Structure 1
Amino acid sequence: MKAIIIGGGIGGLTTALCLNEAGIDVQVYESVQELRPLGVGINLLPHSVRVLTNLRLEEKIASMAVETSDLVYFNKFGQKFWQEPRGRHAGYQWPQFSIHRGGFQMLLLEAVKERLGEDAVRTNHHLESFEETPEGIRATFVDRETGQVLGTDVGDLLVGCDGIHSVVRKQLYTQEGSPCFSGNVLYRGTTRMPPFLNGTSMVMVGSMKQKMVAYPISPDLDANGHQLINWVANLKEPDTQLMTVRDWNRPADQDWLVQKYQQWTFDWLDVPAMIAGAGAVYEFPMSDRDPLGRWTFGRTTLLGDAAHPMYPIGSNGASQAILDAEVLADCLQSAPDIPAALQNYEQKRLPATSQVVQGNRQKGPDQILDIMEERAPNGFTDPYEVFPYAEMDTIMSRYKVIAGFDKESLNQKH
């Protein structure tokens, strides 16, 4: 059996590793000329780290990531109102990791080349079209810059792992149109600075109108004792139409952003200094797509952001793609034929991920930020007087169940 994987991102590379473990031949195709360690930080939740551990990658990940100890919520005045342990600190069998997205992608790429061969990933091959034939799936590739046809490949199945602007999805759903813009713009950067809190904490500050997320993504301290901190500022766009004229990932006005957060100087974190200290700041319109009724058409299916792009709330985007990869490999091993296996994969993962997409649209666990802002816009003396602990706990626990990482269920898995 041979699988053609479209896309060399986290979802595509993890899928290649999982399918290889299942004894399936794999060829990955990627549009860009060279895969480079781009991007900022991401979180890998325990349910995805379980998959990566089974792929024998945990040790390498741990060497370059921060094992997240706790998640802490603060209001816009820097007052703490929720704190919970994460990963192994919370009793999970697996850790939660904060890691540089590009570094993690390069780790996966190295593993794919080691296990599947140097030619397992072909770059500068942009999918132009595909068709199902009596022999299987035939895919045609071009040079995206020149349009020159580079050739075709034939496989038994094709997996679209090519992101929110998926070519595979576009061929399956020709009338779908553009992603859905949330009205929020994310501003992302990384800054070398002194560690905050205990040096392994992830923080959420403010509300969905104006929010800051920050967490360390490297365990190493430099000569000044500084740590690489990943941060994401979330601002509600006053005019959602402005986003139609912007690139998807363009440099932002750093000085303007510093001014927006000028008052956010806390005794545990200086937010304006953190923004000002970044080498570059990029803006990104927070977008998703409506959940689909189906991903699978014969011998073709979708995975990761191509299947279920979601708002980056609850630290779940990359983790859900990793879960997809494991389930797909399991289904291909156990089903009698490929179309049946892909249908089985879809039945297991489509409803689950649709719940996460919809849950993130309802602000996921971060809704506790907005509730606290509504109830105590001027701050509080005792947070539990305005927002009882049990009420917050219910919201946080419910999201863990929706996203598939409630501790009791997960710890029963291997």
Structure 2
Amino acid sequence: MSPYGRKKSPRILIAGAGIGGLTTALSLHAAGLDDVLVVEACPNLRAVGAGINLQPAAVRELTELGLAQALDEVAVATSRLEYHHRYGGLIWSEPRGRGAGYNWPQYSVHRARLQELLLSAVRDRLGPEALVTGRRLLRYEQGRERGRNTVRAYGAEQSAPFSCDLLIGADGINSAVRATMYPHEGPPLGNGISMWRGVTEGRPFLDGRTMVIIGCNARVKAVVYPVSRAEDGGRCLLNWVVEARTDEGPDGAPEEEDLRGGADWDRAVPPQDVLEHVEGWRSDFLDLHDIVAGAPRIVRYPMIDRDPLPAWTDGRVVLLGDAAHPVYPTGSNGASQAIVDARVLAYELAHHGVDEALARYEATRRPQATRLLAAHRRLEPDPVLRQVEALAPNGFLDIRHVLPEDRLDGIKSCTRQVTGVDATALNARTSWSVPV
């Protein structure tokens, strides 16, 4: 039983109803902590976004929250990860999820479908009153109230503040909670790479469950994977990303005002903006040009992150997910790490008082997140792929004629570094579920 089963549960306020915030609410409820309110800036939670991947570590946590069947119905169990040259040659292929020895699958899913699933579970389990929309939290203050440490979270001037015992900042890479905690940090950091993203209805490729990374060019790379299953040999939704080094700012990164939101990064762009970067690419299993041209909407984003923080906690305020440790999407791991954060935090809060729980959560998660951020910044395993491009710029028939087997095997260790945990460790770890 939770230690709070015999006394009043702390009042917990979650800033942000994204994947991290909603999973935190579900995790707290499952751990017996029911005095939870999620506050979201968007007035209407619309089905937006593109595809994401959930690593087995995250799928385990969603499974233990009772969401396995619902997740399987909206997602694709990823079978393999493959790297291909821009002229079609296979560089590397490795199994993923259960095929790689995990007890849980890896999933590819549309972000909107996942958020809808989590939102429905929050409303069913915590009640519709547990979510407030259209209220952007801008800052917080801490003090004491009736002998208790309290936090007041403020939105617009005319709105009353929210009072709580614990504020969880799950409000994304431009987190207002983080900005209050670290007011002089500045905007996110760009690396000079732009990403064009879209979701296109098309024919499934290979086995219909494989993620492919295409390119090897030092400046351009494409990622394609299905986020829905094809019924009766029909069509499915293909999520795709094209990354290109554009070096827009004077230091090789987007301008600061762009990173602060000055640029209209959510504006749709024409397919030709993308196609010029992949001109001449070819493959016998996937027509990348048709996929890009067929997207109903294409959006461009900068590749950004933030430096690691010296601490995620400030009294009774704590950061989680992208608010704590945003990373480049190269490891398909951002959403997964937010889910793991949520489960660890709920577990610690169920077993310890708030102050000790926050310290234990940070001691567990912050070092791991810092290591992952460093691996993502190395853009693993791009150095190996660039070597292939240098040795075989016009393509190849057999990769073993380009690089020796042991050099190629290094790609496997690179992918493990950006996903953060191997199968043996994950399968053997004790559960973070809390009997209540």
Alignment partner of 2:266 out of 227, 244, 249: 249
Instruction: Determine if contact 1:125/1:141 at 8 Å carries over to the other structure.
Output: no
State the shift of 1:148 in Å: 4.9
**Structure 2 gap segments, 5+ residues each:** 1-9, 432-436
- Residue of structure 1 equivalent to 2:434: none
Q: Are 2:406 and 1:400 equivalent residues in the alignment?
A: no
Q: Are 2:69 and 1:59 equivalent residues in the alignment?
A: yes
State the distance in 1 between where 2:410 and 2:275 align: 35
Residue identity over aligned pairs, in percent, reads 43
5 Å-filtered alignment, 1:155-170, equals: 155-170=164-179
State the shift of 1:130 in Å: 1.4
Q: Are 2:227 and 1:214 equivalent residues in the alignment?
A: no
Instruction: Determine if contact 1:313/1:366 at 8 Å carries over to the other structure.
Output: no
- Residue of structure 1 equivalent to 2:278: 261
- Residue of structure 1 equivalent to 2:17: 8
State the distance in 1 between where 2:427 and 2:85 align: 32
Q: Are 2:43 and 1:26 equivalent residues in the alignment?
A: no
Provide Cα deviations, 1:221-263, integer angstroms capped at 9, x if missing partner. Answer: 48x8211100000011143358334223322232232233231
- Residue of structure 2 equivalent to 1:283: 300
- Residue of structure 1 equivalent to 2:313: 296
State the shift of 1:399 in Å: 4.1
Instruction: Determine if contact 2:13/2:168 at 8 Å carries over to the other structure.
Output: yes
Q: Are 2:60 and 1:50 equivalent residues in the alignment?
A: yes
State the distance in 2 between where 1:19 and 1:392 align: 43
Instruction: Determine if contact 2:380/2:418 at 8 Å carries over to the other structure.
Output: no
State the distance in 2 between where 1:288 and 1:190 align: 23
State the distance in 1 between where 2:134 and 2:66 align: 29
Per the alignment, in what secondary structure is the counterpart of residue 150 of structure 1? coil
Provide Cα deviations, 1:268-309, integer angstroms capped at 9, x if missing partner. Answer: 111111100000100000000001111111111100000001
Q: Are 2:329 and 1:312 equivalent residues in the alignment?
A: yes
Instruction: Determine if contact 1:42/1:101 at 8 Å carries over to the other structure.
Output: yes
Q: Give the partner amino acid of 2:375.
A: G
- Residue of structure 2 equivalent to 1:271: 288
Q: Which shifted more, 212-221 or 273-282?
A: 212-221
Per the alignment, in what secondary structure is the counterpart of residue 24 of structure 2? helix
Q: Give the partner amino acid of 1:183.
A: G
Provide Cα deviations, 1:38-62, integer angstroms capped at 9, x if missing partner. Answer: 1000000101000000001111010
Instruction: Determine if contact 2:194/2:302 at 8 Å carries over to the other structure.
Output: yes
Instruction: Determine if contact 2:151/2:166 at 8 Å carries over to the other structure.
Output: no
State the shift of 1:370 in Å: 2.2
Q: Give the partner amino acid of 2:299.
A: Y
- Residue of structure 1 equivalent to 2:7: none
Q: Give the partner amino acid of 2:399.
A: P
Q: Give the partner amino acid of 2:254.
A: M
How many residues are matched?
408
State the distance in 2 between where 1:73 and 1:51 align: 28
Alignment CA distance shift 1:72-1:402 (3 Å): closer
State the shift of 1:365 in Å: 3.4
State the distance in 2 between where 1:257 and 1:403 align: 28
- Residue of structure 1 equivalent to 2:344: 327
Per the alignment, in what secondary structure is the counterpart of residue 251 of structure 1? coil
Instruction: Determine if contact 2:204/2:230 at 8 Å carries over to the other structure.
Output: no
Alignment CA distance shift 1:73-1:402 (3 Å): closer
Provide Cα deviations, 1:48-90, integer angstroms capped at 9, x if missing partner. Answer: 0000000011110100111111111001111101001110122
Provide Cα deviations, 1:74-133, integer angstroms capped at 9, x if missing partner. Answer: 011111010011101222100011000011001100000100000111001111221222
Alignment partner of 2:425 out of 400, 406, 409: 409
Instruction: Determine if contact 2:380/2:414 at 8 Å carries over to the other structure.
Output: no
Provide Cα deviations, 1:150-182, integer angstroms capped at 9, x if missing partner. Answer: 222222111100000000000010100010001
Per the alignment, in what secondary structure is the counterpart of residue 352 of structure 1? helix
Alignment CA distance shift 1:175-1:238 (3 Å): closer
Instruction: Determine if contact 2:89/2:397 at 8 Å carries over to the other structure.
Output: no
Q: Give the partner amino acid of 1:370.
A: R
State the distance in 2 between where 1:232 and 1:137 align: 43
State the distance in 1 between where 2:178 and 2:152 align: 14
TM-score (normalizing by structure 2): 0.90
Q: Are 2:213 and 1:196 equivalent residues in the alignment?
A: no
Instruction: Determine if contact 1:130/1:137 at 8 Å carries over to the other structure.
Output: no
State the distance in 2 between where 1:237 and 1:392 align: 28
Per the alignment, in what secondary structure is the counterpart of residue 17 of structure 1? helix
Q: Give the partner amino acid of 2:289.
A: P
State the distance in 1 between where 2:45 and 2:417 align: 35
State the shift of 1:402 in Å: 5.7
Instruction: Determine if contact 1:359/1:399 at 8 Å carries over to the other structure.
Output: no
Alignment partner of 1:227 out of 220, 236, 240: 236
State the distance in 2 between where 1:163 and 1:374 align: 38
Instruction: Determine if contact 2:74/2:109 at 8 Å carries over to the other structure.
Output: yes
State the distance in 1 between where 2:308 and 2:94 align: 30
5 Å-filtered alignment, 1:126-165, equals: 126-134=136-144, 135-142=148-155, 147-165=156-174
Instruction: Determine if contact 2:213/2:224 at 8 Å carries over to the other structure.
Output: yes
Instruction: Determine if contact 1:308/1:353 at 8 Å carries over to the other structure.
Output: yes
TM-score (normalizing by structure 1): 0.94
Per the alignment, in what secondary structure is the counterpart of residue 174 of structure 1? coil
Q: Give the partner amino acid of 2:395.
A: G
- Residue of structure 1 equivalent to 2:182: 173
